[in-house]
Structure 1
């Protein structure tokens, strides 16, 4: 086997790939080139000379397990006989893919801005029609097919600022609002500002462990140092400042730590930070002159009694002028919440306390990407300025929103309750967001078998689960976990009947797995 193929297979194996994936992967590199093209050996790009940061980049929620799940779906479509009839994709927070119905108001506005003749002929409520007119007036040629300003349509940025003011009770400047293609693009735009060495050291960014793999992947891509700090699982994934201090002190030996990421409500852990916890994080950031990334895309998804969402912007503002130097970027998305509009790619960020020349250069960099999708911006407008009481669409919008959130609340309780009944499992309550991250024990024989197959033990478990039940989860090793512990992330998004079916199947599988490797 050529060196390239060996490297490719080794990388798949190191990520816990199944043998079937490797079998599918290798032929890609063994194909014969057409006679009129250069041979593989003379290619300008080879696995040995591409950007090494790309080789380091991994994104667990769309990794080898998901690739195998897609293969299994195709096998089932071709009539393959398996002990299950469908694949349950509990690996990713894609609400509509798991049966959640779109919010009518959002889709009606999207329909009207896409096909403007529906404004007069579609029979839609007047507030929908007026919203579509307003958005189209902000578009060149009154068409969503035109480019917008790089930072988004001004009207929508103003509506986002008004949303933040209503939420926090404090002013927001629309010129500090940037619309984006989902929160992910905005996060990466700001991370790029840190791609620099300070005093001969690479820049480091603190991220929670467990974390959302967007962060570890982006840090790898940009050559930034990942500085992990552990969340306190025994205290419902709370954030402990002493752990932050430990992590920072350890990291300062090799890099210059310049920023901290906080995900609230948590992904994959489902916790909601208390106000006191947020204040302590802001004090830590001020003490060490750290930029704060506040990933708040699940701010509508708060379920547990006694839990409440506080934005970092609100808490920072109310801590007084002493903290007016703390730099903050907060992020929101239409992909989560009650909306679940992942595919429309709409989101925003608010920038707080940045130097004006720094912000100007960030805007310059963003302008090189032209603009976020106009349909995503239209969805953002519907979220930032939903129907108001007394408007024609309000009653249905409120019914649909409350129904989605109530159902998610029910499923959050259902999933934690079921896992905590299973032998060797511990699952914290899901206070918010869309996921559970249970810890589970593995028999020593299973751990040994995983080693024989060159897989992480939780990856081994997840592949067994997928092949025997069709349930696709993400191993905890893809998010980070304390050494010697095993977790996985599952969404709470399957609709209640399917979720109950999934949990019943899961219980049976775990009992059989434990018995087999006892």
Structure 2
């Protein structure tokens, strides 16, 4: 047995214990950490190995002691300990272990097809045809599908098994630029488009550009709290300072400029702020920023010379009446100089929207007003990865270059797309209405994206029980929910939250009947939980 000391950026409560598949983590108090957000001070923990070790371990070239320390401290809550336990429970059910439920409902991650969403026919026909060109001779394949497939294959030198340019196929980059022009009404240069392996891959490739100490200070990147854990994990892995700014829950998770100023002022003595991340529509909060709010953010970024990173992967997912998606580029251009010359990168993905093609790993980045010398080196850095998956590139082409009115695939495409978005709209209302009917719950409208992030008031005895169990209260609640009902959610402490508040993220993705069943189980559990800890 051996003990190893770790430092984690996420707080899971005073003296908390987190259990993994083959090890347990016992936390040691490092100041009063209870109820602190993701932006709070880190805590220290002791990792107790439960597997057998030998002296040969110490002789390995790469061992725990010389492992990259940034990798040690990074965490990704969406696939954290609760999700690991959910996978274990699913296996136990398969092995015949008796539970008070017969399946695990994975409401922890935005994986549309895993939750029963049916793929869009046009997308899959194009992908099938480029993967298996003999389908181009099949009379059942529509002519517009064949045309697009042939164009992609020609651009890819006859096979999607070939490498493409590092930035992706020129044909598809041109189609992306045309899509952006039609969306925003402003020109888009295809040479500013980079195709990437999902938005996550593109975001990580971009953020590493900021890895440079200046006058002994680390770079800093502003991210929203609550945030998508990709950002906190990536910044931790790269050794970039996280500057967390709180979204205003009382105003449906709006972004408050005074809070931006506070967050920046608090950190600028220890780092050099270089970039601000904005997720719109929001993940995990589901808000859609107004045009005025975007204008305020742009002015703030201009005043502090910040590069804007606009995560816009949910731009098709708009539900609430009166909500509308505005791209940061569109507003930037509408505002004119000096704002229209600001540095901006925006990201889009084929994983969300009405498509939900998460596993194909397709995405794009549009970079505008980047320093030419920086852009040369950015492209050099991207080239080291050869190219993103070509089938992912082809998928992105079907999204930015969909069937047009009058083409054979158009009617079915519109019908399927509308059905998906209408269903998501209905499920967004179902989730919000249900949670707002629970005792001690408060849930803002899901204006967009695929998630709800309700606030929950936990009974004092439940908070005390969490302490005794060495868990953060919302982690305790989530584990209890999983073990009793099979519903897997992500505790709010994994995304960050205001001190003293408790939340969790759930997707709205289960199909309507399954979602109704899930919410019914959730209600029954919560009533029992409150009664138990009254």
Normalising by structure 2, report the TM-score.
0.93
Structure 1, unpaired ranges of 5+: none
Contact 1:17 1:64 in 2 (8 A): no
Q: 1:311 to 1:332 in 2, by over 3 A?
A: same
| Candidates 66, 69, 76, aligned match of 1:59 | 76
Structure 2 residue matching 1:143: 3-state secondary structure: coil
Aligned counterparts of 1:101 and 1:151: Cα–Cα separation in 2: 30
Q: 1:189 to 1:388 in 2, by over 3 A?
A: same
**Offset at 1:8?**
11
Any residues of structure 2 matched to 1:355-434 within 5 Å, and which? 355-434=371-450
| Candidates 115, 123, 126, aligned match of 1:98 | 115
Match of 1:203 in 2: 219
**Offset at 1:24?**
8.4
**Offset at 1:386?**
0.3
Residue 39, structure 1, aligned to residue 52, structure 2: no
Any residues of structure 2 matched to 1:130-209 within 5 Å, and which? 130-140=147-157, 142-209=158-225
Q: 1:284 to 1:502 in 2, by over 3 A?
A: same
**Offset at 1:17?**
6.0
Residue 500, structure 1, aligned to residue 516, structure 2: yes
Structure 1 residue matching 2:265: 3-state secondary structure: helix
**Offset at 1:16?**
6.2
**Offset at 1:3?**
2.2
Structure 2 residue matching 1:44: 3-state secondary structure: coil
Find runs of 4+ consecutive structure 1 residues off by over 2 angstroms. Answer: 6-9, 11-33
Aligned counterparts of 1:319 and 1:485: Cα–Cα separation in 2: 37
Match of 2:3 in 1: 3
Residue 475, structure 1, aligned to residue 491, structure 2: yes
**Offset at 1:254?**
1.1
**Offset at 1:127?**
0.4
Aligned counterparts of 1:265 and 1:497: Cα–Cα separation in 2: 26
| Candidates 302, 307, 310, aligned match of 1:286 | 302
Aligned counterparts of 1:357 and 1:258: Cα–Cα separation in 2: 17
**Offset at 1:248?**
0.5
Match of 2:339 in 1: 323
Aligned counterparts of 2:139 and 2:333: Cα–Cα separation in 1: 45
Structure 2 residue matching 1:207: 3-state secondary structure: strand
Structure 2 residue matching 1:198: 3-state secondary structure: coil
| Candidates 113, 121, 127, aligned match of 2:130 | 113
Q: 1:13 to 1:459 in 2, by over 3 A?
A: closer
**Offset at 1:13?**
8.2
**Offset at 1:43?**
1.8
Q: Which of 231-240 and 121-130 deviates more?
A: 121-130
Residue 30, structure 1, aligned to residue 47, structure 2: no
Contact 2:11 2:493 in 1 (8 A): no
Contact 2:23 2:50 in 1 (8 A): no
Aligned counterparts of 2:209 and 2:167: Cα–Cα separation in 1: 17
Aligned counterparts of 2:215 and 2:20: Cα–Cα separation in 1: 47
**Offset at 1:28?**
7.7
Alignment RMSD (CA, Å): 2.0
Structure 1 residue matching 2:63: 3-state secondary structure: coil
- Listed one character per residue, the Cα deviations across residues 97-154 of structure 1 (whole Å, up to 9, x for unaligned) are 00000000000000000011111136200000111100000113x1111100000000
Match of 2:87 in 1: 70
Contact 1:16 1:64 in 2 (8 A): no
Match of 1:81 in 2: 98
Aligned counterparts of 1:468 and 1:307: Cα–Cα separation in 2: 37
How many pairs does the alignment contain?
512
Aligned counterparts of 2:324 and 2:147: Cα–Cα separation in 1: 34
Contact 2:291 2:326 in 1 (8 A): yes
Aligned counterparts of 2:64 and 2:11: Cα–Cα separation in 1: 14
Structure 1 residue matching 2:64: 3-state secondary structure: coil
- Listed one character per residue, the Cα deviations across residues 421-473 of structure 1 (whole Å, up to 9, x for unaligned) are 00000000000000000000111111111112211110010000000000000
Contact 1:12 1:22 in 2 (8 A): no
Contact 1:297 1:331 in 2 (8 A): yes
Match of 2:41 in 1: none
**Offset at 1:474?**
0.2
